[in-house]
Amino acid sequence: MRYAKLGCTGLDCSLLGFGTWQIGGGRWKGLETEESIAVLRHAAEFGVNIFDAAIVYGQYRGDLNEERSRSLELLGAAFGGSQRQEVIINLKLGQVDEYSHRAIYEPRHMVEELGRALKELKTDYVDICLVHAPTIAQIRDGRALSVVQTIQAMGGARFAGYSIEAEPEHAKLALAQEIDVLMLQYNLLDRECEPIFERAAEQGVGVIVGGPFKRGYLTGEFSQVSDLPLSDNYWSWNLQYARAKVEATLRRAVALREEAGGAVQLRKRALNHVLGKHGVASVVVGHRSRHEVSENAQSIGEVGQDSYA
């Protein structure tokens, strides 16, 4: 595994990160608990040290009707206790659910979310705490960032910042504030944030990129709608409400696969494309098997041999 400095934080992040949305279940069809833990630990054995999570990943209700996160519980089971110091936990706070993307950034709510997350993670701090998917108005307002910075000042997190989608205007506003880390979505199909990387590097802001395979489109595994895993609510929901967009995106992804020479080559190209951008410290992939971890770790080791920027 290769590593890079995350801006001015001093953190050495593995170029390959692990996103825990999919293994948590919820909208996705998750894995059995023991297999999920095995996949997480397999990644760590390969040198992956940064794990991305959110309070709404694998969201469910407990026996007392309390909100829980299976993704956070899995991370706690895999890396709680003596292994905690060996991994970097990137936690996103503020969203209320996976479906509406509603968010509550009030201090009491976010502090309560953090407390619940720390309990599930079996730790007393996270390495990075990010405001999850704010609107432009909420970034401009700055109050949500103030909450995570207060959490940082109180020792609940080492570094603070924002997590956004492929939204360059959001990113520009975020970089106008005092942040340590910016997470954004970027891939071969969503290149809107490309100008942001250089600006962030100049300011010493660490950049983590999510969605290199665009929810699975860029894995090369799907050629048409009938190939999609409809057992995942994510795909069935999108086909119900945005079928034309799904079909158009599939056509673009298939063209890229043919250009790359196959599915494996497309996945390697997708990772290379992201990590070829100056200032990107880690690319987060939603692994759901040990094979995926092994393949992506090997591709990361070959980054630099090809250029697709």
Mean pLDDT for the stretch of residues 217-227? 96
pLDDT at position 303, please? 62
In the chain, the domains with their CATH numbers are: 3-210+267-301 (3.20.20.100)
The H or E element containing residue 13 is strand 12-14
User: Could you give the percent of the chain with pLDDT greater than 70?
Assistant: 98
User: In this predicted structure, what is the pLDDT of residue 302?
Assistant: 77
The pLDDT value given to residue 84: 94
Q: What are phi and psi of 42, to 5 degrees?
A: -60, -40
Question: Residue 251 to residues 31, 182, 230, 247, 256: CA-CA distances in angstroms?
Answer: 29, 30, 18, 6, 9
Q: Give the β-pairing of 181-185 and 280-285.
A: unpaired
Cβ partners under 8 Å of residue 242, min gap 6: none
- Taking the alpha carbons at both ends of the chain, their separation in whole angstroms is 22
Which residues, at least 6 apart from 300, have a Cβ–Cβ distance to it below 8 Å? 1, 2, 14, 15, 16, 271, 275
Q: What is the average pLDDT score of the chain?
A: 94
Average pLDDT over residues 218-227: 96
**Dihedral angle sign, alpha carbons of residues 74, 76, 82, 85:** positive
Residues 12 and 5: their CA atoms lie apart, in Å, by 5
**Strand, helix or coil at 208?**
strand
pLDDT at res. 99: 80
pLDDT in tens, 121-168: 999 999 999 999 999 999 999 999 999 999 999 999 999 999 999 999
81-125 residue pLDDT tens? 889 999 999 999 999 988 877 899 999 999 999 999 999 999 999
pLDDT at 306 over 50: no
Average pLDDT over residues 41-51: 97
Give the mean pLDDT of 276-287: 97
How large is the average pLDDT for residues 230-243? 91
